[in-house]
């Protein structure tokens, strides 16, 4: 089996995610045979540094020996069992561990299979909570401009990235979209924090006018990842928590991409010193090993559903693989790795190294912004630096950086004009240099003409 043979077979039967398949007439599909650490290897023996953690899921590298061992042992014992009416130790212990490490309001865990379904659960549960509490008028959700919460219809509806959402508009429920505290949009001289405070006034206006119709606000804490890695100041979350308390509205933190150490703290909400009412976790939860997600909520939410069966107040939501035992085992192995070494301290060093590795781009005339929250670093390519004028998306300049990266053996996958690093935490100094040098050369090439 070589690359070409597998690609030919693939293009006969497969349909890939987030892809205009016609692009593969000129853009080679990359078949991967194996992975080890930050490296992926194709069927012809060429290696690629996985600078995006395979779509933000991988934490400790591919084919990690400890996670592999744990999974093999669990597979011998129990792969999965129905979670309605039944339970198992990996799920119970994982719920205990998640409650222990997440912010204090979060006391209960509902498991699902992927990020989007976790978001659906949080939305349904918040709405249903208010209904059970005798407030049926609360039917709306607030989300931030440029947010992303997944691709299923409910999750897509509360997102705001036009590329994914616009086509399906007629099918979607309509959230109230609040302006984002995105620090890239600050006016000259204004601090990210002052800008966040201004955006909180917009939210206060929405709450004042429509608060009694609103179930919850959903946000991605600190980084809008799919929304071109736009970042904001933690003061926004602190203020939003206060507003939600004042108006009695749920705060849903979608930490699917930023949880488990990505932004520097174990959970991004910690940097704002807040606890949400619902927290959605997935992606890094299993270090990129198996699909699993969890929604955490306070005991008060649980109690609002706890009644006699005939009251029909129960939360009758399910997915076939809810609480998947092997997934829970991968999550335990992941949390064990966090306990066995000071991952966050190492990440601080790695993050500083990533930063200095792209220092040279600061004065580049086609780089409008370099922003970072911990292990996420993003570089915004612009047509005009002074006015922050974006390149026309049709020019697909990010795609040029992607192609350049593949030639040099680095998997970068820009979002529009934004080149970013979100590598597995185990990346070393030499690999950071390769990743950064490749990105810099790719940006030079993509912006040359
Ligand atoms: C990836 C992501 C989702 C969706 O998760 P899936 O597992 O892809 O369904 C939701 N919210 C955020 C913030 C994400 O990054």
Question: Distance of CA 420 to CAs 370, 373, 423, 440, Å?
Answer: 9, 12, 9, 11
Going from the Cα of 55 to the center of ligand 1, the distance in angstroms, rounded, reads 10
Record the tokens describing residue 61, joined without a space. 């590298």
> Is residue 130 a contact partner of residue 149, using CB atoms and an 8 Å limit?
no
Going from the Cα of 444 to the center of ligand 1, the distance in angstroms, rounded, reads 31
Q: Rounded distance, CA 37 to CA 373, Å?
A: 23
* Residues 254 and 380 placed together within one structural domain of the fold: no
> Is residue 311 a contact partner of residue 137, using CB atoms and an 8 Å limit?
no
Record the tokens describing residue 315, joined without a space. 């939360």
For residue 185, being part of any structural domain is answered with yes
Helix (H, G, I), strand (E, B) or coil at 186: coil
CB count in 10 Å sphere of residue 398:
24
* Residues 316 and 362 placed together within one structural domain of the fold: no
Count of the separate structural domains present in the chain: 2
Looking at ligand 1, which residue's alpha carbon is closest to its atom 5? 115
* Residues 346 and 229 placed together within one structural domain of the fold: no
Closest CA to 34 of 1, 70, 11: 1
Looking at ligand 1, which residue's alpha carbon is closest to its atom 3? 150
> Is residue 277 a contact partner of residue 46, using CB atoms and an 8 Å limit?
no
Q: Is the CB of 119 under 6 A from ligand 1?
A: yes
For residue 1, being part of any structural domain is answered with no
Looking at ligand 1, which residue's alpha carbon is closest to its atom 15? 257
Which residues lie across from 216 on neighbouring strands? 141, 250
* Residues 277 and 365 placed together within one structural domain of the fold: no
Residue 272, domain CATH: 3.40.640.10
Which residues lie across from 373 on neighbouring strands? 376
Closest CA to 319 of 120, 71, 109: 120
DSSP E strand boundaries for 70-163: 108-112, 140-144
Dihedral angle sign, alpha carbons of residues 198, 200, 203, 204: negative
For residue 8, being part of any structural domain is answered with no
Residue 355, domain CATH: 3.90.1150.10
Going from the Cα of 57 to the center of ligand 1, the distance in angstroms, rounded, reads 10
Helix (H, G, I), strand (E, B) or coil at 319: coil
Q: Is the CB of 419 under 6 A from ligand 1?
A: no
Closest CA to 257 of 411, 422, 125: 422
Name the helix (H) or strand (E) containing 88.
none
What is the position in ligand 1's atom list of the atom closest to the CA of 220?
A: 13
- Burial of residue 8, with CB atoms counted within 10 A of its CB: 0-12 exposed, 13-18 middle, 19 or more buried: exposed
Q: Which of 294, 316, 340 finishes a domain?
A: 340
Going from the Cα of 232 to the center of ligand 1, the distance in angstroms, rounded, reads 19
- Burial of residue 159, with CB atoms counted within 10 A of its CB: 0-12 exposed, 13-18 middle, 19 or more buried: buried
Q: Is the CB of 254 under 6 A from ligand 1?
A: yes
* Residues 284 and 203 placed together within one structural domain of the fold: yes
Going from the Cα of 250 to the center of ligand 1, the distance in angstroms, rounded, reads 20
* Residues 381 and 336 placed together within one structural domain of the fold: no
- List Cβ<8 Å contacts ≥24 apart for 162-165: 164/226
Q: Rounded distance, CA 191 to CA 179, Å?
A: 17
For residue 412, being part of any structural domain is answered with yes
Mean pLDDT by 10 residues, the chain (449 residues): 96 97 97 98 98 98 98 98 98 98 98 98 98 98 98 98 94 97 93 97 98 98 98 98 98 98 98 98 98 98 97 95 97 98 98 98 97 98 96 96 98 98 98 98 95
Q: Rounded distance, CA 220 to CA 228, Å?
A: 13
* Residues 259 and 378 placed together within one structural domain of the fold: no
* Residues 100 and 168 placed together within one structural domain of the fold: yes
Q: Which of 340, 368, 384 finishes a domain?
A: 340
What is the position in ligand 1's atom list of the atom closest to the CA of 225?
A: 15
* Residues 180 and 258 placed together within one structural domain of the fold: yes
Going by the DSSP 8-state scheme, the letter that residue 391 receives in this structure is P
Going from the Cα of 166 to the center of ligand 1, the distance in angstroms, rounded, reads 18
Looking at ligand 1, which residue's alpha carbon is closest to its atom 8? 115
Q: Rounded distance, CA 343 to CA 264, Å?
A: 10
Residue with the two structure tokens 């497969």: 14
Going from the Cα of 24 to the center of ligand 1, the distance in angstroms, rounded, reads 25
The parent domain of residue 290 ranges over: 69-340
Q: Give residues with Cβ within 8 angstroms of 166, minimum separation 6.
A: none
Looking at ligand 1, which residue's alpha carbon is closest to its atom 7? 115
For residue 9, being part of any structural domain is answered with no
Going by the DSSP 8-state scheme, the letter that residue 37 receives in this structure is B
Instruction: Give the pLDDT confidence score for residue 187 in this predicted structure.
Output: 84
Q: Is the CB of 122 under 6 A from ligand 1?
A: no
For residue 113, being part of any structural domain is answered with yes
Q: Rounded distance, CA 81 to CA 397, Å?
A: 47
Q: Is the CB of 256 under 6 A from ligand 1?
A: yes
Q: Rounded distance, CA 247 to CA 142, Å?
A: 13
For residue 406, being part of any structural domain is answered with yes
* Residues 103 and 150 placed together within one structural domain of the fold: yes
Going from the Cα of 449 to the center of ligand 1, the distance in angstroms, rounded, reads 35
Q: Rounded distance, CA 160 to CA 218, Å?
A: 12
Question: Distance of CA 279 to CAs 99, 110, 259, 392, 435, Å?
Answer: 11, 10, 10, 36, 32
Q: Is the CB of 146 under 6 A from ligand 1?
A: no
Q: Is the CB of 148 under 6 A from ligand 1?
A: yes
Q: Is the CB of 257 under 6 A from ligand 1?
A: yes
Q: Which of 340, 370, 395 finishes a domain?
A: 340
* Residues 335 and 413 placed together within one structural domain of the fold: no
* Residues 299 and 399 placed together within one structural domain of the fold: no
Q: Rounded distance, CA 275 to CA 105, Å?
A: 6
For residue 13, being part of any structural domain is answered with no
Q: Rounded distance, CA 281 to CA 261, Å?
A: 12
Name the helix (H) or strand (E) containing 74.
helix 65-77
Looking at ligand 1, which residue's alpha carbon is closest to its atom 11? 149
Going from the Cα of 448 to the center of ligand 1, the distance in angstroms, rounded, reads 34
Q: Rounded distance, CA 176 to CA 162, Å?
A: 15
């Amino acid at each position: 089996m070589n690359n070409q043979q597998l690609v030919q077979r693939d293009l006969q039967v497969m349909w890939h995610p987030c892809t205009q398949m016609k692009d593969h007439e000129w853009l080679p599909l990359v078949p991967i045979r194996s992975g080890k650490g930050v490296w992926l290897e194709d069927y012809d023996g060429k290696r690629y540094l996985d600078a995006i953690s395979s779509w933000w899921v991988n934490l400790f590298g591919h084919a990690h020996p400890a996670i592999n061992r744990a999974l093999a042992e669990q597979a011998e014992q129990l792969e999965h069992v129905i979670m309605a009416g039944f339970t198992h130790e990996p799920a119970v212990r994982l719920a205990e561990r998640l409650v222990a490490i997440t912010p204090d309001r979060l006391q209960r865990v509902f498991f699902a299979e992927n990020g989007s379904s976790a978001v659906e659960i949080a939305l349904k549960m918040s709405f249903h909570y208010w209904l059970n509490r005798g407030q049926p008028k609360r039917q709306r959700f607030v989300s931030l401009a440029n947010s992303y919460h997944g691709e299923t219809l409910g999750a897509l509806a509360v997102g705001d990235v036009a590329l994914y959402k616009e086509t399906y508009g007629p099918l979607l429920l309509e959230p109230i979209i609040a302006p984002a505290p995105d620090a890239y949009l600050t006016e000259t001289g204004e601090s990210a924090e002052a800008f966040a405070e201004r955006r909180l006034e917009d939210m206060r206006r929405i709450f004042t006018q429509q608060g009694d119709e609103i179930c919850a606000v959903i946000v991605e804490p600190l980084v809008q990842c799919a929304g071109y890695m736009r970042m904001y100041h933690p003061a926004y979350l602190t203020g939003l928590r206060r507003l939600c308390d004042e108006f009695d509205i749920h705060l849903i933190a979608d930490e699917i991409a930023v949880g488990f150490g990505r932004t520097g703290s174990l959970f991004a909400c910690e940097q704002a010193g807040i606890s949400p009412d619902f927290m959605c976790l997935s992606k890094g939860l299993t270090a990129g090993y198996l699909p699993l997600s969890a929604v955490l909520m306070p005991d008060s939410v649980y109690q609002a559903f706890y009644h006699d069966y005939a009251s029909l107040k129960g939360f009758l939501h399910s997915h076939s693989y809810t609480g998947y035992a092997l997934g829970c085992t991968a999550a335990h192995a992941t949390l064990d790795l966090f306990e066995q070494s000071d991952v966050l301290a190492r990440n601080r060093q790695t993050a500083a190294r990533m930063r200095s590795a792209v220092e040279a781009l600061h004065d580049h005339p086609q780089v409008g912004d370099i922003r970072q929250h911990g292990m996420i670093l993003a570089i915004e390519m612009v047509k005009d630096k002074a006015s922050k004028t974006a390149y026309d998306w049709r020019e697909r300049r990010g795609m040029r950086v992607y192609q350049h990266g593949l030639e040099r053996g680095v998997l970068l996958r820009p979002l529009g004009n934004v080149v970013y690093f979100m590598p597995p935490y185990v990346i070393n100094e030499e690999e950071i240099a390769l990743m950064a040098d490749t990105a810099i050369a790719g940006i030079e090439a993509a912006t040359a003409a």
